[in-house]
Structure formats: C-alpha cells, structure tokens
Amino acid sequence: MIEKSYIVFRADGNSDIGLGHLMRCLTLAELFCSSGFRILFICLKVSDFIGSVMSSKNYQLKEIEGTFDCSFEDAKRSIKAIENINVELLVVDHYSLDSRWENDLLDNVGKIMVIDDLANRRHHCNYLLDSSYGRLPDDYLKISNPNCKLILGVDYCLLRPDFYDLRQASIKKRKGTTEIQSVLINFGGTDSQNLSIETFFHLVESSYQGDVHILISSSSQYLQELISAEKRFTNLNLHIDEQQVAELMLNVDVAIGSVGTSSWERCCMGLPTIGVIVASNQNNIAQQLAKIGAMILSSREELRKNIDVLLSEIDLMRWHKVSNQAFKICDGLGALRVANAVLDLPVNISLHEMDTRHEDLLYTWQCEIGNRQYSGDPAIPSIKEHKIWFKDSLKNSKRRMWLIVFNNNNCGYVRLDEQEKSEEVSVLISQSFRKLGLANAAIKQLKTLSHFNIIEAEVAETNIASSVLFQKLDFKKISNTRYQWVES
C-alpha cells in the first residue's frame, strides 16, 4: 500500500432510499481505515447523524450537488472531489450509477469495486460484490466486463465486527429461549412508510405485554410521532441512531421489519423475523430467506395475523426452526472476506503447536464436506483410523503440526513433513473460516519455521484455488502437481 492512499466511497442515503448503502460502506470503511488507508466519502447531502459518524471516525466527507438521474454530472463532480489524491480503490454503492459512470472514473483511480444486489444494469469494474443469498455468476456475466472479479453470496455480507463478536452468545441464548419476552421493530433508519408505529399498535391490539424496541434514525420524518408514543406506553423503547445494534438484537426474541441490509444482521444473530417487503429491490432477498425458512414473509395487510401466530406459545417450535435456519445464512465475517478478496490485506493469525487435546477438533474438520476433496485419499477416515494417525503424528519427529488461531478461534491446521532436504506443507481450514486469507497467513509464518528454507507442496491439477495461493506465496511450479519455495 502506498503511504496515505485513499479508499473512496460513493454512496447516498436519505429518507427515500434509506441508509443501508451508507451503513454497509461504513462497515467496510472501518476495516480499511484500520489497515492504514485514508477514507473519503462522496455523497449528496447527508443527515446530521451520518455526518457525525463520519466525523467521529476521522473520515473525510465531500458533499456534491446533483440528483439521482444524471450520472454524467455525478461523474464530473466525483472526479473533481478526488483530484490531487491517490485513490487506491473506489467503492460505489448506488442503484442509479452504472458502467457509464464507472468508465468515466476508471482513469482517475487505481481500481473500482461495485456493490450491488439487483443485477439489473451493466457494470465495468475490477470487483463486483453482491452478497445476496443464492446469487450466481450467471446473474452478472452478461452485464459485467470479462476481467471483473465477482464476489458473490452471503459469505460476503458486510456486517460490523460486533455481530461476529456476539454471535456465540446469541446461539447460546436462542437455544435456551422458552418464551417471547421482547420484540424489535426494525424498518430501516428512516422508515419512509411509517411502519414502525403501525406495527407497534398491532402488538398493542394483540395484547402483547412484553418489551418493544424500535430502531430509528434521527433523520426519520416520523420521529416525533414515535417519541409521543414512547411517552404513552411504558413498554416501548426507542433507539435513536443506535450504535450497539448487535447487542440489541442479542437481547430481543423476535424482530419485525423490512427485508433490506439489516436482514443479514438478524440472520447472523439467529433472530426470528417477520419480514415485510417495503421496496422492490428487497424482493429477491425476501423470497430466498422465506424459501429456506430463515424468515417469515408477510404482506403489510397480513402483518397483524402473523404477529398473533408467531407470538403465541404454541408456535415456539416454529420460532426455533426459523432461528436455526437464520444462523446458517451468514457468520459475521463477510467484511474480512471482502477485504481479503479485494486488497489482500494481512491477516493477524498465530500458530500453536498441536497436542493430544486437539485430536477430536482435527477430526471434526476432516469430516466437513469438501475438506478432503483434493487430498491424496478423499475418503473420510474412520475415527479409529484418525486416532491412530494422530497419535503416530505426535510421536513422529519429522512431522510438525500447528493450530491456526484467528480472533481467538481455532480455524484450521498446518503441517510440515520433513523430506530429505526440504519439507512438505499441508494445510486444512475449517469451512467456517474459508476465504479469509488464513492459509496464506499461516504458510507465510511457516517460512520462518522451516528447517531447510525449502518448502514443497503437492497440489492437484484441478485445485485452482490452491495453485493460485502457492503462486502468490512465491512457490514455483516444478511439475504438474508440485510447487516449491526456496528462500532467496
């Protein structure tokens, strides 16, 4: 990274389009800023809340004039905003901008990443991120440039770090839930259709007695109406410009809300949700989540009926099923995966020598679907075979094994097997921690631990990902399936 390089974001948010585009860009900005980049946002007029968030994090903000219907003028103003600075990456998250805008900016920046979830217009960029559930390359191949790297699927959902940090606590809490005691109403920061107050009164009419929490932005045009209701009802709690959203979602039992970007936050926390489509761009997300049972989809007209059903004691079994399915959608590590895919940022891992305590853990990883696909023997060993192999491996003076630890989690293992004048590396990453750059980081550390300063790797010809990995790590291909690194 060039010193003082910028990552620039072009995104907007207001009462009409909501704050989702800006919020997911802010998530990425925090990660990039912590890696040493300067951050600049180019926006139309932003609310005081968004402005204060950017200011508190020392991000630069340039507000430009314009409307959503003139990409040519927007491009000119955006180019003006970035003159005289070195832009490593330009991130654009905007439904009104397409390949025409991107082509105008290409020569003024290092690379461009587009964030989209509609797949309905052409793009010309280096990276295209769409974290929609079920999104496939075919959805973009005809509307993106051939050399664009597609970053697709829920593995790349952009959530703030606190969602991952509280996820295990949420899993434990949901398992022990026996009654519905609190409800979160979550129709986006601006709630342009005033659904929050409508939903609250549905709860009142259904004789629900528990706590009700409403997430809302100070920029919502209906804020005063909600404040008045909070004064009348002792069980109603407003969370205006709330920053601790993950903690709030951890502590409630049901959510009722729109099916926008906050859907991924609720899924990460396993929070059963009654979802209401409030904009056409939410149709795909809503249908996908409802199809797999990770959300109960409701029309506005049937919302009261669905509330009655989900809050009833007899439907607690369904509540648990929805929670379990929601947990499967995303894990909270998406932003780190995006950073690894786009900028190949260094990952902070540590290696710990393995001992008898790790026998069962390694077997669990060996049994994960796909983990032995490219092994010399792809068949999963029996537990007896594994125990014998593991015991022998610990005794073998020519074999060294380490756990890979990331964010205080055991994520995989690496192994060096001594050959005549070199060592052979093997690596296995748990499926839960793929696409984070952990194998890359672990092998980099192994280079400093090598006895001979020569490391080799056996890679199946069909294992494209591993071939790319070892070439990035300066391994030279010495045969069809063999790679070698020699310290220079």
DSSP codes joined into one string, 64-133: ----TT-HHHHHHHHHHHTTTS-EEEEEEE-TT--HHHHHHHGGGSSEEEEE-S---S-B--SEEEE--T
Structural domain boundaries in the chain: 6-156, 161-327, 346-486
| The pLDDT of residue 280 | 85
pLDDT value, residue 313 = 61
pLDDT attached to residue 260? 87
Per-residue pLDDT, 3: 53
* Residue 56 and residue 33 in contact, taking contact as beta carbons nearer than 8 Å: no
How far apart CA 330 and CA 153 sit, in angstroms, is: 10
Burial status of residue 461 (CB atoms within 10 A of its CB: 0-12, 13-18, 19 or more): exposed
pLDDT at 1: 43
Which fold would CATH assign to domain 161-327?
Rossmann fold (3.40.50)
CA distances from 253 to 206, 245, 323, 371 (A): 17, 14, 10, 35
pLDDT score, position 68: 66
CATH number of 346-486: 3.40.630.30
Region of residue 188 (left: phi > 0; alpha: psi -120 to 50; beta: else): left
Q: Which amino acid is at 28?
A: L
Q: Do domains 6-156 and 346-486 have the same CATH topology?
A: no
| Token pair recorded at residue 49 | 């809340």
Specify the fold of 6-156: Rossmann fold (3.40.50)
* Per-residue model confidence (pLDDT) at position 2: 43
- In the chain, which stretches have pLDDT less than 50? 1-2
